[in-house]
Amino acid sequence: MPKQGILPVLADLYNPALVLLSLVCISLPTRQRKWKHAGLLLAGFIGIAVIAYGIRYLDDNNGLWMRFGLDYSTHTATSIGMVIFLSFAAPRHWKVLSLSFVSYALLMMHLGYHTAMDILTTGVTVALLGAAWLKVLNQRDVDAAERPVGQPQGS
């Protein structure tokens, strides 16, 4: 083990654990044949990934964070995105999920992966865009639930 022991391993396992939890949350509605809800959850998950990696692409090609002496944190982007997604998919667990993200952010700083400003600027950007995306999807889910079966949207 490296000098810091198990901490880097825990940091490396955090995002994959969130992905696994996300996939479980997406699959749960299918057990009750709630295909539309599962599809909206999948769209939410994919949208979060597009936001996190889309901003990474923009930053790589335009040096957005570098202009301010910062580093876009893909680890932060994906983790905050998935924490927001999981809080959307399983709202009663938002406190534990939020605490897990704060712990992960502190761990990344302790390990020297990113600064507090890297994490804060990345996290706020992805959180705002991700929450807006999930709000749009949630409204579609609510609209679908309130429509009589078989009635098309907008009727």
> pLDDT tens across 131-147, in order?
999 999 888 765 555 44
Q: Is the pLDDT of residue 150 over 80?
A: no
21: which 2 tokens?
């939890």
94-110 burial, b at 16+ Cβ within 10 Å, e below that, comes to: eeebeebbeebbeebee
> What integer pLDDT is reported at residue 147 of this predicted model?
40
Residue 60: other Cβ atoms inside 10 A: 12
Percent of the chain with pLDDT over 90: 72
**Each residue's pLDDT tens digit, 5-25:** 899 899 999 999 999 999 999
Residue 2 is given by DSSP the state -
81: which 2 tokens?
């995105």
* Helix spans in the chain (H): 7-27, 35-62, 74-89, 94-110, 116-146
State the pTM of this model: 0.84
Percent of the chain with pLDDT over 70: 88
